[in-house]
Amino acid sequence: MLKTKKLLYPLVLIFIALVVGVAAVDNQVKAEGRKYIIAAQDCPVQTAAIVPGAYVSPEGILCEMLADRVETAVELYQKNRVKKIIMTGDHGRQDYDEVNNMRLYAEKLGVPSQDIFMDHAGFSTYDSMYRAKAVFRVDTAVVVTQAYHLPRALYAAGRLGIDALGVEADKHVYTGAALYELREIPARLKMFAQTHLLHAKPRFLGEVIPVSGDGRLTHD
């Protein structure tokens, strides 16, 4: 029995250290990201709004969260807070397309095609922010997404060299909100590892398309 206790003691200490470490990293990402969240009416003029993708139905209908993101970005554009909008999401398969449907929705709301850029390879939040800087040459931006997601997105943007602010796009109470919050914990840990330990590259880069130009160059 004494031998078992001796074996368990270091394991318990290791477990406690892991829990404390995970909590510390998670809190760091949340705290740093939250510093840059502002109200829409307080948003200074930025180069672009970056809108991360989310689920789009086979019929091209944006899920409620994604529709709210696009609508919030369009509102910022219409109030002259941003000059361009970057729709970044998953268009890795011919039969699934987030970014074109995001663009079409923004166009219906009155945004000219030339002011909408599409990032077809925004397969993750990290990839989206990396490509915003490396491909689209974004220096200042406002990231538009839900409150649970903003700290991680802003943390990545800042670490990758974008002077970014965040505006919450929470126009509704979403089904499964608690699950999204829970999933953010491992996602924030992964983001910390990508930026600090791995210095990860996105799945795709490609040619430079400055956001100062015509967004129709990114249309397909």
Contact of 202 with 127, CB cutoff 8 Å: yes
pLDDT given for residue 4 in this prediction:
65
Sketch out the chain's domains with CATH numbers. Answer: 2-218 (3.40.50.620)
Structure tokens at 198: 């791995």
- 1 pLDDT exceeds 60? no
**135-163 in b/e burial notation, b at 16+ Cβ within 10 A?**
bbebeebbbbbbebbbbbbbbbbbbbebe
pLDDT given for residue 218 in this prediction:
97
Give the C-alpha separation, 148 to 30, whole Å.
9
pLDDT given for residue 200 in this prediction:
95
Q: What does residue 55 show for φ and ψ, rounded to 5 degrees?
A: -60, 135
pTM for this predicted structure:
0.93
In the chain, % of residues over pLDDT 70? 96
CB atoms within 10 A of CB 216: 13
Beta bridge partners of 214: none
Residue with tokens 């974008």: 162
Q: Which of 9-13, 73-77, 90-94, 119-123 has the lowest mean pLDDT?
A: 9-13
Q: Please write the tens of the pLDDT for every residue from 141-152.
A: 999 999 999 999
